[in-house]
Structure 1
Amino acid sequence: MGENTVRRDRRGQVGRIGEDFAAEFIDSIGWKILDRNWRTRYGELDLIAADGGTLVIVEVKTRASHTYTDPVAAITPTKLRRMRLLARQWLAAQPDPAPWWEVVRFDAISVQLDVRDPEDRAAARLRHHRGLVE
């Protein structure tokens, strides 16, 4: 197995751990998860949730390094524009009658994992960023 494959496998593992933490957090605050890892050829939405009458599109950023002070710093204006496009596509793909959403909001959940033991929940730091704007 080459070095790039090992790096990709670790990145995938770290991402899955972070998304699981984020989904558990969303569940713990009473939101309903409507979809996870929804994909089109244009990209992927990590988590789509309902907070009452608000549809929340959640980008999960996970790191097991200290490259960023907060992993949310990796969300660029281009990424946010792509999230908006994908949200429109997700809404259009819903069966009739689709629920009517009072508000559509874009949030981020950043997860900083321990470098040595990414699965150590006690060492993980999770931050919820509500209402991302460009």
Structure 2
Amino acid sequence: MDIPATRALGRYGEQLACRYLSDAGFGILDRNWRCARGEIDIVAREDADLVVCEVKTRSGAQFGAPFEAVTRQKLRRLRRLAMLWLDALPPVERSGLSVLTIRIDVVSIVKRGTDTARITHLRGVQ
């Protein structure tokens, strides 16, 4: 798969993940947030949890499930990025965001050709 096709698949997966999370009752706070240290695909809220969501989309499972690409190193980076995201909020927004916990979720999407996408949502990945 060439790079533009890979990017298009990734954008499709992130849009699908946002719709899935919204339909499940999550509030989407931010998408594709970037800083010098990395990127968060989706920042959402579920009840009192701030949810940093990594989205992995593949066109097949020949190399394993997409969520298997989320390494311990990536999880550590996402935890640091969550704190940087909170620090970057204007004080007014930060004071209005009462968060009890920060959680890392992974939304794994497999989309083969014209088949319906298969979504797997892993909550609280350690």
TM range (shorter): over 0.9
Spell out, residue by residue over 1:2-59, the C-alpha distance to the aligned partner (whole angstroms, 9 max, x if none): xxxx711011001011101100001101111000000012110000001011100000
The Cα shift of 1:129 comes to 0.1
The Cα shift of 1:100 comes to 2.3
With normalisation by structure 2, the TM-score equals 0.92
1:1-134 pair list within 5 angstroms: 7-97=2-92, 98=94, 99-114=97-112, 117=113, 120=114, 123-133=116-126
Number of residues of Structure 1 aligned to a counterpart in Structure 2: 123
Paired-residue identity, %: 37
CA distance in 1 between counterparts of 2:84 and 2:100 reads 18
CA distance in 2 between counterparts of 1:11 and 1:41 reads 23
CA distance in 1 between counterparts of 2:82 and 2:102 reads 9
For structure 1, the 5+ residue unaligned runs are 1-5
- Structure 1 runs (4+) deviating above 6 angstroms are none
SS of residue matched to 1:35: strand
Greater Cα radius of gyration, structure 1 or 2: 1
For structure 2, the 5+ residue unaligned runs are none
CA distance in 1 between counterparts of 2:62 and 2:31 reads 26
What amino acid maps onto 1:125 in structure 2? R
SS of residue matched to 1:132: coil
Q: Which moved more, 1:59-68 or 1:79-88?
A: 59-68
With normalisation by structure 1, the TM-score equals 0.87
